Amino acid sequence: KMAAPRALFGVLLISAGAADAFSSSLLSSSFLPGTSRASLSLSHRSSAAPAGRTVAEGAVGLDMLVDVPKQVLVTGASGRTGFAVFKLLWENPKDFVAQGFVRSEKGAKMLEKIGASLGDSDSIKTSNAKLRALGMPADDEDPDIFLGDISDMASLAPAMRNCDALVICTSGVPKLRKTELFKSILSKLIGRQRMPKFYYETMPEQIDWEGCRNQIDVAKEAGGDHIVLVSSMGVSPAKNNGDNILNKIGDGNILVWKAKAEEYLAASGVDYTIIHPGGLLNKAGGEREIVLGVNDELLDAYESLGATRAIPREDVAMLVVQALRHKELVTNMSFDCVSKAPGEGKPTMSFAPLFEALS
């Protein structure tokens, strides 16, 4: 892929005393044949300000930039919901520059299958460094995929650099041992009810609270102006208690830690949107009517609204992307989401009215 400053068009930045224009090399080649996706965006917080001037001093009104795609980092991008979000952003390059944060090579390969890149290999980076040391031109390929751990803020920082928004899709995932599954099946065969015992490889406290807090801190430090957190229904005080089955699973108290992270985000000073999905379905999106609510009211009222307590992951991903598109409608808001069964109601196609009805 070609390396170039990220922009769709040459953009005129209006300064206090004069107008500085980007050179023609800043023209996006996204509309030209043979051009890579890596050259699509120009960060609103680019470090390429004139010597002695910060970007803020050298240009004002950056929010007035037209047709500059929003650079978005998706964490947990190889998870089932995170991947759905990343893929949808990736498929809309005119509006978004998608970057994914994953913790393993296996996760990175998932993103590579749809065209994302880890950037230059170490050998190419070394070669380019030598060329630059000799005064020769050498372009580096910016990565779309970042490997790291949300417990390590140092690995998060490079991924968040220059991003406009952060989408948090990381979450503790309970697992079931094969022996537990066998015991549950056996109990059912002999007419006994038995709740299988789950476990976490990493407890929700470390992922849903501490890891989430790290992500919020890094985004704030990097100057990100919107954080979308995919959380869960059941975090309201009325539902988030010791009797909630989600808190009992693996003794993880997952909703307790998710609620703590939400409170931290709300107090961070960064514009945020929190999405609380119901049960997540591995079904196709765009085929159901989406129903929104607040404060876990849908957990009790979903039937009266003709809805279910579940929603496809792909529809959650669409809600995330639409929240990024319509930030002004969902800033500093949290909402719950479920869907009607296929064939019940009309598939949701317009999201602005859905968001407007929340306020």
- Return per-residue pLDDT of the chain as tens, 359 residues: 333 333 333 332 333 333 333 223 322 333 233 333 433 333 333 333 333 333 333 334 444 456 789 999 999 999 999 999 999 999 999 999 999 999 999 999 999 999 999 987 777 777 778 878 888 877 667 899 999 999 999 999 999 999 999 999 999 998 888 776 667 677 777 777 767 788 899 999 999 999 999 999 999 999 999 999 999 999 999 999 988 999 999 999 999 999 999 999 999 999 999 999 999 999 999 999 999 999 999 999 999 999 999 999 999 999 999 999 999 999 999 999 999 999 999 999 999 999 999 98
Q: Is residue 124 part of a domain?
A: no
Last residue of a domain, one of 184, 201, 218: 201
Two tokens, residue 276: 């609380």
| Assigned token pair, 8 | 């769709």
Q: Report the number of distinct structural domains present in the chain.
A: 2
Indicate if 197 and 280 belong to the same structural domain.
no
- Does residue 48 sit within a domain? no
Return left, alpha or beta for 174; rule: phi > 0 is left, psi -120 to 50 is alpha, else beta. Answer: beta
Structural domain includes residue 27? no
Residues 161 and 190 in one domain: no
- Check whether residue 182 and residue 248 sit in a common domain: no
Pseudo-torsion of CA 107, 113, 118, 120, nearest 10°? 150
- The tokens for 315 are 């529809």
Q: Looking at residue 119, what is its pLDDT?
A: 86
Residue 63, exposed/middle/buried by CB under 10 A (0-12, 13-18, 19+)?
A: exposed
Residue 359, CA atoms < 13 Å, CB-side half-sphere: 10
Distance CA 59, CA 68 (A): 16
Helix ranges restricted to H, 134-204: 153-160, 178-189, 204
Neighbours of 213 (CB within 10 A): 17
138: which residues sit within 8 A by CB, 6+ positions away? Answer: 127, 128, 129, 131, 132
Amino acid 65: pLDDT: 53
Domain that holds residue 90: 70-119+137-170+202-357
Phi and psi dihedrals of 247, rounded to 5? -75, -30
User: Does one domain contain both 225 and 334?
Assistant: yes
Task: Report in angstroms the alpha-carbon separations of 151 from 106, 157, 161, 342.
Answer: 19, 12, 17, 39
Mark whether 232 is an active-site residue: yes
Q: Say whether both 106 and 178 belong to one domain.
A: no
Q: Are 235 and 287 in contact (CB under 8 A)?
A: no
197 and 227: one domain?
Answer: no
Q: Is residue 143 part of a domain?
A: yes
The answer as to whether 193 is a domain residue is yes
Among the listed residues 39, 78, 171, 232, the single catalytic one is 232
- Round to whole Å and give the CA distance between 194 and 57: 65
Give the Cα-Cα-Cα angle 151, 153, 159 (nearest 5 degrees).
110
Please state, in angstroms and rounded to a whole number, the distance separating the CA atoms of residues 294 and 358: 8
Q: Looking at the structure, tell me whether residues 93 and 231 fall in a common domain.
A: yes
**Residue 118 backbone class (left: φ over 0; alpha: ψ -120 to 50; beta: rest):** alpha
Q: Using CB atoms within 10 A of its CB, is residue 279 exposed (0-12), middle (13-18) or buried (19+)?
A: exposed
pTM given for the model:
0.78
Which tokens hold the place of 96? 């978004």
Residues 103, 196: one domain? no
Residue 270 covered by a domain: yes
Q: In this structure, are residues 13 and 20 in contact, taking their beta carbons and an 8 Å threshold? A: yes
Q: In this structure, are 337 and 192 located in the same domain?
A: no
Tell how many helices (H) and how many strands (E) occur in the chain: 14, 14
Q: On the CB side of 167, how many CA atoms lie within 13 Å of its CA?
A: 39
Distance of alpha carbon 34 from the chain centroid: 29
Give the domain-ending residue among 185, 201, 217. 201
The CATH number linked to 241 is 3.40.50.720
Predicted confidence at residue 192, as pLDDT, reads: 76
Claim to verify: residue 209 and residue 295 sit in the same structural domain: yes
Is 214 inside a domain boundary?
yes
212-222 and 153-160 helices cross at what angle (nearest 10)? 40
Residue 29 lies inside a defined structural domain of this protein: no
The answer on 179 and 78 residing in a single domain is no
Buried b (16+ CB within 10 A) or exposed e, 93-123: eeebbbbbbbbeeebbebbeeeebbbbbeee
Do 227 and 101 lie in a common domain? yes
Tokens of 149: 């751990």
**Helix, strand or coil, per DSSP, at residue 39:** helix
